[in-house]
Amino acid sequence: MTTLHLCIATGQNAANFIPLKQLQAQNIWVLETPDMQKQQSAKALHMALKSALPEAQVRILPFDDSTPQAMQAAALQLACEELDGKNVIFHATGGTKLMVLAIHQQLLNLGSYRLLYADTAHQTLSWLDDEPRQEPMVDNVLTLNEQLLLRGYRSSNDTRPAHIQQRASERAKTTKFMGEKSAQLKGFLGTLNYHARHAADGKGLTCELNYLPRAQSPAGNVLELAQQQGLLTINEAYNQITFASTEIAEYFCGGWVEEYVFLKFTGTLPPSQYTLGVQLTQASSKTQNEIDGIAVANNRALIIECKAKKQDKAQDAIYKLGQLVRQVGGLMARGLYISAIEVSDTDRNRAKEYGVDVLAAEELADLSKYLRDWQNNPSTAKTRP
């Protein structure tokens, strides 16, 4: 007899999706309350399930939860008219406690019935039947695309094509040096950013510095590396640097931070687990959000925001990132704010409240370690207190 998996649509779809995919469910019914219908949660779950389990039969059924009497009547009708004679697994993770109890009470009368609870915080599946037991969620059940579908989003673009990787690789030495030595570079990165902004705005690719940094200093090494890689030329006689192109000027305006993240992600995470520089479209409202990066590991998401300019307000960016963490990643997601400029203790405390970690200034050198820690255990990755 085919097993029927019964679940309740919820705003946190991963709690339903992960066990359904792990168990390779082929017959799935999703109960949808009026509130969940407005949020289109069941529709988002359906889309993700059809992507992950293309042969599965997925049915969405309305469920009236307006009053205790309505819930009891709906549960009784479901059990007697729809589920009688079927082998049922009830996924009791979604819905209100009262709704779950009403359904559970009626399903107890079925000949074959088991209750399953998914605890995404502890990554476990708990069974309640004749032999109660607990088993772990399988690592990396949830893919990046499925994470987006579950939250009602689609990706409009993906910046992992070969030409992007090639461009980042060609100037990797300069990029990595600026990231790993950002503490020593301090004000010079701001100076470089300022002149690059003027060049990118069409005010001339050649700029005159008050003085050229001395050779073998961190700032001097940046310019030397950039010149060796054809990104700019140095005119020592006039204390001038000339950017190779407007695109290169944009790179020094802040694009290098995103490329630094790209290089570290490429060297740390499998390509299927992340995307960078992505535009997301929410299916229900057509609202678009630009996200510097999103990664998924051990069934949890990490949303990334990169900043390199002094004029960027950290508090605004951190607030926006905190909102995206909840909207795109869900309750178990974290945010990572990456800044070439130091972030104040006030803004760090605010970030902690929003579920956002911070890597700034000299901490950029710790990005690979952070990603490895997060990948191995997404709930315990740490940044500076």
d(CA 305, CA 292) in angstroms, rounded, equals 5
What's the Rg (C-alpha) of the chain? 26
| pLDDT above 70 as % of the chain | 94
* Residue 161 banded pLDDT, cuts 50, 70, 90: low
Q: For residue 312, what are its two tokens?
A: 């960027």
pTM: 0.84
CA–CA distances in Å: residue 172 to residues 146, 256, 261, 277, 367: 31, 9, 11, 18, 15
Place of tokens 């960027």: 312
pLDDT in tens, 49-100: 999 999 999 999 999 999 999 999 999 999 999 999 899 999 999 999 999 9
CATH class of 268-376: alpha beta
Q: What is the pLDDT of residue 224?
A: 95
- Of residues 354, 306, 365, the one with CA closest to residue 329: 354
Distance from the first to the final alpha carbon of the chain: 54
**Side chain identity, residue 33:** T
Helices and strands in the chain: count of H runs, count of E runs: 16, 16
Q: What is the pLDDT of residue 189?
A: 85
The CA-based dihedral angle spanning residues 349, 353, 359, 362, taken in that order and rounded to the nearest 10 degrees: 10
Q: What is the pLDDT of residue 365?
A: 87
Domain coordinates in residue numbering, the chain: 3-138, 163-252, 268-376
- For the domain spanning 3-138, the CATH number is 3.40.50.10770
Architecture label for domain 163-252: Orthogonal Bundle (1.10)
Q: DSSP assignment, residue 83?
A: I
pLDDT in tens, 121-135: 889 999 998 889 999
